[in-house]
Structure 1
Amino acid sequence: MNAKTDGGTEAGGLPAGARERRIATGGIDLCVAELGDTARPTVVLLHGYPDSKEVWSAVAHRLQDRFHVVLYDVRGCGRSTAPKPLRGGFTLEKLTDDFLAVIDAVSPGEPVHLVGHDWGSVQGWEFVTVRRTEGRIASFTSISGPSLDHFGHWIKKRATRPTPRRAAQLLGQGAKSWYVYALHTPMLPELAWRGPLGKRWPRLLELSEKVPRGGYPTDSLPDDAAHGAWLYRDNVRARLRRPRTDCYAHAPVQLVTPTGDAFLSEHLYDDLEQWAPRLTRRTLPAKHWVPRTRPDRLADWISEFIDGSDPVLPAPASSATGSYADRFAGQLVLVTGAGSGIGRATAFSFAEAGARVIAVDRDAESAARTADMARLVGAPQAWAETVDVADEQAMEKLAEKVAAEYGTVDVLVNNAGIGMAGPFLDTSTEDWKRTLDVNLWGVIHGCRLFGRQMAERGQGGHIVNTASAAAYQPSRALPAYSTSKAAVLMLSECLRAELASKDIGVTAICPGFVNTGITATARFAGVDEAEQQRRRRRTSRLYGIRNYPPEKVADAVLRAVVRNQAVVPVTPEARGARLLSRFTPRALRGIARIQPPA
């Protein structure tokens, strides 16, 4: 056992308490590490290239309380020995022998749940589609690694029956696969890895993928990468030329596709259902090395998938049914103003897509009700938090609590807002201050605090700011409200430009007349309380007649995040005003002069 270091990991980068042993197979010794109770379901984590088992340390740490977790160094990597000679020693058939030797030792007689990343996933597809492993694999989670057989059929289909779209997909993946060609070059990969590339690789990962170190990669990296080049040489060309026709998965498969993967196109999995009938798709806004950059998300998805596929374990408490379940399931979404209206509808839509939801509102009871209902409609977890977004110190405390207890937010929806109507000369300083404090400063606080957390994590995210059609449609009746929303729109545009380099999208949502409760609490300047109430009732009645539901705005929010849209007018009148503001602003100014009925 290695000596323990700070942070709860061993010196070799594995979680504290890891038990190592060696398993002999095919003339080599495999180094196998185990964590957790051996009586629990076994999860085997299989690493890719040029990694060793330590790439899984953060995921294994999160899984060990619920499962018997097994990690092993593939032949020629880490502390496992390499075959002699290297040529022909890394075929998928021999790797399957290794896998069976490991699971026979760590889980005799019981099927295992397999998780593979990169070449670990390539191997996993082989294991889950060959006859001799049937009954030994309970589920398979594939991350950033296709079946070579499926890939071969994918290429053949696009090469023999080309269309412009298929040709573009083929060329796109061909460009992404540049490294495969390089690894087939004799001797050059070995010289590069044992020379400058091996020394600079950790820093390259930090810069390009924001990968933390923490025991990874290990000192064996140069040899691991040099040996691992034979994974490509022994398998890729042979399988792509003559892919198997019986490569059907005999266990449930969960596919996790990072949307920012520099090496694999998302289109590579377009036809996967024909090979894996029991397929669950997930997408993650991240780059290639998600076992290191998003271990929290992977651990949650692995646990949820195992719970749903293992007959011994209870079924998951909830399941995502929304249109974007593959995109948002398991993500952490914070919505302000979630106690009613657009905020509540948005929280529900994310919940239906399987997201974990934090419902924030200044009304504690309303926030709690939203969180309770979010769990009912599909959120695996939902929490209620009470805060006035205009209170800077309260927002700072909320951000600290969220980071400590729930994690870094993936999607932030700054939705809280108040209505303010009345002529400019009748609007008091206090009215202006309160409107700007909530509608503008509330958004600034959210963007500054949670946006910084996203940026520091280095794995992207998305910020949605609720502006309004009033942001670009002037009105003599809404000077304070329109000013606050116009500022939100410009803030969103500026942030979008600044945060693009950190893979953080920013969207300004601009609803029009939506049937929410904002009219019932809006303030009208320059009138007494009786007139205030009369105008609120009248405005609420008019919005009720228009009856545009907040659920449609919520759909637009989710769609905007998926598409990374900049400005989204929602209702027909909002879209019309947007067009006028861009092409015929004089007409819009003329409309603004019309005195609305009292």
Structure 2
Amino acid sequence: MTMGVAGWDGTAGPAGEGGPEGARERRVRTGGIELCVAELGDATQPTVVLLHGYPDSKEVWSDVATRLSGRFHVVLYDVRGHGRSSAPEPLRGGFTLEKLTDDFLAVADAVSPDRPVHLVGHDWGSVQGWEFATVERTRGRIASFTSLSGPSLDHFGHWIAKRMSRPTPRRAAQLLGQGAKSWYVYLLHTPALPELAWRGPLGKRWPRILQRMEKVPAGGYPTASLPQDAAHGAWLYRDNVRTRLRRPRTDAYAHVPVQLITPTRDPFLSERLYDELETWVPQLLRRTLPAKHWVPRTRPDQLAAWTAEFVLANEDRGAGVGPLPAAVGGKYADRFAGQLVLVTGAASGIGRATAFAFAEAGARVVAVDRDEEGAARTAELARLIGAPEAWPEVVDVGDGRAMEKLAARVAADHGVVDVLVNNAGIGMSGSFMTTSAQDWKKVLDANLWGVIHGCRTFGRQMAERGQGGHIVNTASAAVYQPSRALPAYSTSKAAVLMLSECLRAELAGQGIGVSAICPGFVNTNITATSRFTGVSADEEKRKQKRSSRLYGLRNYPPEKVADAVLRAVVQKQAVVPVTPEARGALLLSRFAPGVLRAIARWDPSL
């Protein structure tokens, strides 16, 4: 094998059509071909190599690369026969994993001769990455590997053999399920047909297919070389799949830490493929993402955040030394780590506890509140607890225009929100006759319109992204329990519950869940700030202190409500009564509503 490095092309700008802005380009010669390599960021920083899949070119990584380039030396290259890299002659036998390993080592030696690199692979890039992370000749050249939507062919071969040699109904179902998902693999093994399809109608229609299937944004991707890339890439399958699945290596153990990111809605790969992965990977960090297949294009913020976190953790510890660091903690870390979560009313109480719970699970947190100092404090503590990033935002949720501006700012700065928690609200007590129109407006603006504005602005972004998400709306146990003392508050919260149910039905087909959380008496500061209508200022203060004392004696912590919020998202629950009194009121509302109506006549002021 011969290899060498060509110099810079003398320009800085897009690395090929649709490439990242400001990328530097060079050519790396290896095994009779030239690879087109693009680099971004400071070359003295840790090197992250991004490996593209099929039928892509390096431009699939443009958005992720741009986000990583502020911290790392980012390298992308077109696999042989793709993009601006040359193709082997002949094509048959020119795409074996052994030759692809030669290519990787040539690139690694060119861009990072003295330090191991961090690999990130998607689809066939991940298949290659598994090869690089498990063969002996790459030992010491790789510091970590992040795998996304692409299994090791050797592990896959053993997975199939185990299910065929010891079949059970469950294993047979797993084989049949993955067999159905792999329909395209069979077609790619047919002679000439893939080439004709890609160079004909399929190549022309592919961008529209991606847009329809996964709402993949364009932005220079796919590039004009797609038909040729896809035709050449068919040999990736023909040169490797049958050989490895029939005779998988028995020594395919990873010698580097591995981060496995599994999109839960991937139409091509079953989650079950990775069930026994710990057998092969001593240092494994698992994460799941509610997304489809083309995550580098549809979820670049999420992917960049997880990649940066894993790279920095392994850079600090040294490759292969000591236990794999769990950069995030909590029982929901594999579900929320790196996701973007926005919580309104986050300066205190349930909102702050919810922000902290997501932070502990490794989510990126946007803490929103009217209280600037309180929001800033929540964001600061969220970072200390475990959030890789957290930001405060100040807004009145009842102001629709301000919420539109907030949503646009968050999307531009941090990406589309994955989980929205509409928690901001106020308390108000007093009879209907003593509640003025201004009082009604105040409570409805905060408790109902704040939720409406949040759902409209951030929910619209989730729907347009087309990759799912979840909305949590804080209602109350008061939605089940009528009270002569809480007409305005109970009405606002009952509306939130019905809004949540209607929105859940509307967004279900788009993969967006909606949950209504119904706490009861929770020990927060809402009682100290609640309005009491029809009484003097001194009497209002007395009632606030009395309510705070009673809630304090009840002492149900907001952290339990926060845990219910995370559980509702994970389990896609519709309505969640949290406290015992909330669950009791729900049962009575269904089976003994007369009892609740009798309780409603009680005047708590007496």
* TM-score scaled by length of structure 1: 0.93
Alignment correspondent of 2:558: 550
Instruction: Check the 8 A contact 1:328/1:350 in 2, yes or no.
Output: yes
- Using the alignment, how far apart are the partners of 1:222 and 1:380 within structure 2? 40
Alpha-carbon shift at residue 507 of structure 1 (Å): 1.3
Match of 2:392 in 1: 384
Q: Is the 1:3–1:11 Cα contact (8 Å) retained in structure 2? A: no
* Aligned match of 2:479: 471
Structure 1 residues 271-282: aligned runs within 5 Å: 271-282=276-287
1:425 match: secondary structure: coil
Matches within 5 A, 1:90-169: 90-169=95-174
- 1:453 alignment partner in structure 2: 461
CA deviations over 1:8-57 (Å, ceiling 9, x no partner): 63552212343333333333332222333333332211110011111112
Question: Which residue identity is paired with 1:303?
Answer: A
**1:170 corresponds to 2:166:** no
1:436 pairs with 2:441: no
Query: What is the CA distance between 1:121 and its match in structure 2?
Result: 0.2
- Distance in 1 (CA, whole Å) between partners of 2:311 and 2:535 is 62
Q: Is the 8 A contact 2:589 2:596 kept in 1?
A: yes
Against the structure 1 CA distance between its residues 384 and 429, is the aligned structure 2 distance closer, same or farther, given a 3 Å change threshold? same
Equivalent position to 1:493, from 473, 497, 501: 501
Q: Does 1:340 align with 2:348?
A: yes
Q: CA deviation at 1:442?
A: 1.1
Deviating 4+ runs (over 6 angstroms): 1-5
Q: C-alpha separation between the residues in 1 aligned to 2:385 and 2:244?
A: 44
Stretches of structure 2 lacking an aligned partner (at least 5 in a row) = 1-7
Q: Mark the CA change 1:481 to 1:115 in structure 2 (over 3 Å): closer, same or farther.
A: same
Contact 2:48 2:72 in 1 (8 A): yes
Q: Is the 8 A contact 1:472 1:578 kept in 2?
A: yes
In the TM superposition, residue 488 of structure 1 has moved relative to its aligned partner by 0.5
After superposition, give the CA deviation of every residue in 1:212-244 in whole Å (9 maximum; x if it has no partner).
222211222112112212212222222223222
2:76 partner amino acid: L
Q: Which amino acid aligns with 1:381?
A: E
Shift of 1:348: 0.5
Query: Which amino acid counterpart does residue 238 of structure 1 have in structure 2?
Result: T
Distance 1:287 1:4 in 2: 36
Task: Measure how far apart 1:324 and its partner are.
Answer: 1.5
> Paired residue for 2:50, among 45, 54, 57?
45
Deviation at 1:551, TM superposition (A): 0.4
Partner of 1:362: 370
Pick the aligned partner of 1:214 from 213, 219, 243.
219
What amino acid sits opposite 1:427 in the alignment? T
Superposition pairs for residues 224-303 of structure 1, below 5 Å? 224-303=229-308
CA distance in 2, matches of 1:405, 1:89: 43
Cα contact 2:379–2:391 (8 A) shared by 1: yes
Q: 1:360 to 1:233 in 2, by over 3 A?
A: same
Q: Could you say what secondary structure the match of 2:433 adopts?
A: helix
Identify if the C-alpha distance between structure 1 residues 29 and 396 changes in structure 2 by more than 3 Å, giving closer, same or farther: closer
The corresponding residue for 1:201 is: 206
**Residue from 535, 546, 549 that aligns with 2:543:** 535
Write the distance in 2 (CA, Å) between the matches of 1:59 and 1:307.
16
1:382 is displaced (CA, Å) by 1.9
Shift of 1:313: 9.2
2:412 & 2:318 partners in 1: Cα distance? 29
Q: Report the Cα distance in structure 1 between the residues aligned to 2:543 and 2:568, rounded to whole angstroms.
A: 34
SS of residue paired to 1:373: helix
How many angstroms apart in 2 are the aligned matches of 1:298 and 1:557?
Answer: 24
Q: Which amino acid aligns with 2:386?
A: G
Q: Percent identity?
A: 78
Q: 1:531 corresponds to which letter in structure 2? A: E
Helix, strand or coil for the counterpart of 2:377? helix
State how far apart, in whole Å, the 1-side matches of 2:300 and 2:443 are: 41
Deviation at 1:114, TM superposition (A): 1.1
Identify if the C-alpha distance between structure 1 residues 248 and 588 changes in structure 2 by more than 3 Å, giving closer, same or farther.
same
CA contact (8 A) 1:351 1:378 kept: yes
Please, which moves more after superposition, 202-211 or 515-524?
A: 515-524
Moved more, 70-79 or 384-393: 384-393
**Secondary structure of the equivalent of 1:246?**
coil
**Superposed displacement of residue 167, structure 1:** 3.8
Q: Deviations over 1:483-525 (max 9, x none)?
A: 1011001111222222233332221111122111112222233
Q: In 1, Cα distance between the equivalents of 2:14 and 2:212?
A: 24
For residues 285-332 of structure 1, give each alpha carbon's deviation from its aligned partner in whole angstroms, at most 9, with x where no partner exists.
Answer: 222111112222222222222111124999x99942122222222222
Of stretches 508-517 and 472-481 in structure 1, the one that deviates more from structure 2 is 472-481
Q: Which segments of 5 or more consecutive residues in structure 1 lack a partner in the other structure? A: none
Alignment-derived partner of residue 563 in structure 1: 571
1:306 is matched by which residue type in structure 2? V
Identify which range, 26-35 or 124-133, moves more after superposition. 26-35
Say whether 1:462 aligns with 2:470. Answer: yes
| Residue 380 (structure 2) aligned to one of 369, 372, 385 | 372
